[in-house]
Structure 1
Amino acid sequence: MRRQVALAVGLLIAAAACGSGSGNENAVDSTAAPATGAPTTGAPVIAIPVTDPPVAEAETTAPSATEPGSTDAPATPVAPALAIGPASVEALIALSTPINLSHAGGDQAAPHSTMFAFREGVLAGADALEMDVQLTGDGVLIVQHDDTVDKSTNATGPVADLTLEEIQALDNAYWFSPACWPCQDRPVEEYIYRGIRTGDVEPPEGYSPNDFRVITFREAAEAFPNLVLDVEIKGSFPDAVPVAEQLAAEIAELGLTDRTIVVSFDDDLIDTFHKLAPDVAVSPGLTRLTEWFLNGTEIEPYFKVFQVPPFQGDIQVVDAETVQRVHDEGREVWVWPDDASTQENAEFYERLIDYGVDGIITGRPAAMVEALSG
């Protein structure tokens, strides 16, 4: 009984503290390989810019579309070779090896939710892309984890108070360090991509300043036309219903029904989305999963994938027994590591693979490739 109570409390804490993917706020990985950007110096700028900074032209002759309201040049499109992969959720699930889903592009290896991170994640071997979505103040669906811009950009303030133009002017790589993310107390030289977005530092070869900004959901979907998108709706019911409505509308408009799977911690919110888009794959939220783990309560058959953390506190959520239990119901297990300091590495990924999990939402996609080859 104590284990059941602890697990229930632990899952509730997970919902409050984390999104899908790595949730450790102060993880340090001294073994992380340095990325290839130029370090910059200078004190943090904690103010919201009111105009767009200088932006270099995208390095391509075939730019992707931008969202209405954005005055920026489009982000650098991804070469066709980078967009090859399982083009539907059904095909992804049918893979014979565990799925490598890059968390926000691989947030322990590149700046969270940037086009740069998603592209680098695919280059590193990701089979699919995990991302979070919410709305700007002017109603545009963007790829963004937190409800403020404080953690990753050179500004502070709620996302809901910013227009798309304002939020895309920000440096979304400002606080990324390969040794610790998110951390805002590292030596300034560790923030190796700082200033690329604002035109103060040259971008890595093949990229533009736009690849280090906040991107829209539409931009992500169009840049990777043959990859599955694992999308978490941020927020809770009923406040986040407009996010669910906009996501359902864009999935339909962009023809993404077969290649999108949607998840939320809030079961009421995921139920709202399912009513809007009944043909889009969905994963169950916290209430359903807790009842299933503790009481064996049945979950509707249209939930084909359970997305869960490996541990919560001292309680092991994912082990061989639990994975088999999910498989016995004809479902898949995708695991989102929630402690970057101990779980985002090949050794831990191998441990999950040995349990029989079907996918890992990876902060380090290259480490997952290593684990699969081990």
Structure 2
Amino acid sequence: MTLIFAHRGSAGTHPENTMEAFYEAERVMADGIELDVQLTKDGEMVVIHDETVDRTTNGKGFVKDYTLKEIQKLQANFKFKSKLFKKNRVPSLREVFQWLKGNKLLCNIELKNSIMDYQGLEEKVIGLIREFGYENRIIISSFNHYSIVACYRLEPAVEIAPLYSSRLFMPWIYAQSIRAKAIHPNLKAVRDEIIIEAMNNGIGVRPYTVNKADQMERLLNLGCTAFVTDYPEKAWKLRENKKG
């Protein structure tokens, strides 16, 4: 069965990378969530996509220049102006992990260290995974492939998967060479035969960001390992219809 990962939570209907977006992903029966992690000024792991807080909050400046306490005072409801979403804030990774105790969702952590060199990010993330015993529930991905290899070396039990946006030649060979169990390509960078060949070679494929019904249908028909979407409820309904 093709698994459904909620991109930054249910980012199409709720403020991205907030607890409310993750609660919604659970409510609509996604199989997992995808989120982004960076470090604050005081070395805390926070869940936010951009290197700055400008787009997704009412603040300005770099994530790295805020302490956890400061960043959590911001409102993280950028384009969702309804009264429903007034109190959203930037969660810590620990907060998300605490909530994961109450469900069985998988969690794909994207390390946002391609632009900012967050020293110690890998060690901190792996340390928290071990603390909670989530070695079998977490997938670590990044566009910084040195970073995910560092995670594998720290904890081989945690799955790693390279993110990429341009077409790779025989990406399953590359994945095997860095001990990754899956690839996370941009949907535009992966053809059907590549998806099939990768899976035939024991490498999972989880394309991003799959929001159109025809794209979802394509991947469901292929039996693709999983895909990442802003609209997990729409994806779940399409998958259910296929079962019928």
- TM-score w.r.t. the length of structure 2 is 0.89
Report how far residue 277 of structure 1 moved. Answer: 1.7
Mapped to 2, the partners of 1:193 and 1:172 lie a distance apart of 13
Q: Which residue type is aligned with residue 234 of structure 1?
A: K
Q: Is the 8 A contact 1:132 1:234 kept in 2?
A: yes
For residues 268-327 of structure 1, give each alpha carbon's deviation from its aligned partner in whole angstroms, at most 9, with x where no partner exists: 11111222222211113549983534x96573373111111111xxxxx33321111101
Mapped to 2, the partners of 1:272 and 1:288 lie a distance apart of 23
Mapped to 2, the partners of 1:325 and 1:176 lie a distance apart of 40
Q: Specify the alignment match of 1:235 in structure 2.
A: 113
Residues 193 and 270 (structure 1 numbering): CA distance in 2 closer, same or farther, change over 3 Å?
A: farther
1:158 matched to 2:62? The reply is: yes
Q: Specify the alignment match of 1:142 in structure 2.
A: 46
Mapped to 2, the partners of 1:372 and 1:306 lie a distance apart of 22
1:259 matched to 2:163? The reply is: no
The DSSP-based 3-state class of the residue aligned with 2:14 is coil
Indicate the structure (1 or 2) with the bigger Cα radius of gyration: 1
1:300 matched to 2:177? The reply is: yes
Q: Specify the alignment match of 1:326 in structure 2.
A: 198
Report how far residue 238 of structure 1 moved. Answer: 8.5
- Point out where structure 1 has 5 or more consecutive residues left out of the alignment: 1-96, 178-190, 198-211, 312-316, 338-342
Which of 27, 33, 37 in structure 2 is aligned with 1:133? 37
Mapped to 2, the partners of 1:354 and 1:274 lie a distance apart of 32
Mapped to 1, the partners of 2:147 and 2:30 lie a distance apart of 28
The DSSP-based 3-state class of the residue aligned with 2:30 is coil
Q: Specify the alignment match of 1:176 in structure 2.
A: 79
The 5-angstrom pairing of residues 257-296 of structure 1 reads: 257-286=135-164, 290-293=168-171
The DSSP-based 3-state class of the residue aligned with 2:139 is strand
Mapped to 1, the partners of 2:29 and 2:202 lie a distance apart of 27
Q: Specify the alignment match of 1:105 in structure 2.
A: 9
- Point out where structure 2 has 5 or more consecutive residues left out of the alignment: none
Identity %: 29
Q: Specify the alignment match of 1:86 in structure 2.
A: none
1:196 matched to 2:74? The reply is: no
Residues 195 and 282 (structure 1 numbering): CA distance in 2 closer, same or farther, change over 3 Å?
A: closer
Residues 351 and 193 (structure 1 numbering): CA distance in 2 closer, same or farther, change over 3 Å?
A: farther
Report how far residue 194 of structure 1 moved. Answer: 7.5
Mapped to 1, the partners of 2:149 and 2:115 lie a distance apart of 10
Q: Which residue type is aligned with residue 369 of structure 1?
A: W
What is the count of residue pairs matched by the alignment? 239
Q: Which residue type is aligned with residue 136 of structure 1?
A: T
Q: Which residue type is aligned with residue 176 of structure 1?
A: K
1:117 matched to 2:46? The reply is: no
For residues 62-110 of structure 1, give each alpha carbon's deviation from its aligned partner in whole angstroms, at most 9, with x where no partner exists: xxxxxxxxxxxxxxxxxxxxxxxxxxxxxxxxxxx21011111111111
Residues 327 and 120 (structure 1 numbering): CA distance in 2 closer, same or farther, change over 3 Å?
A: same
Q: Specify the alignment match of 2:221 in structure 1.
A: 354
- TM-score w.r.t. the length of structure 1 is 0.60
Q: Pairwise CA RMSD of aligned residues?
A: 2.4
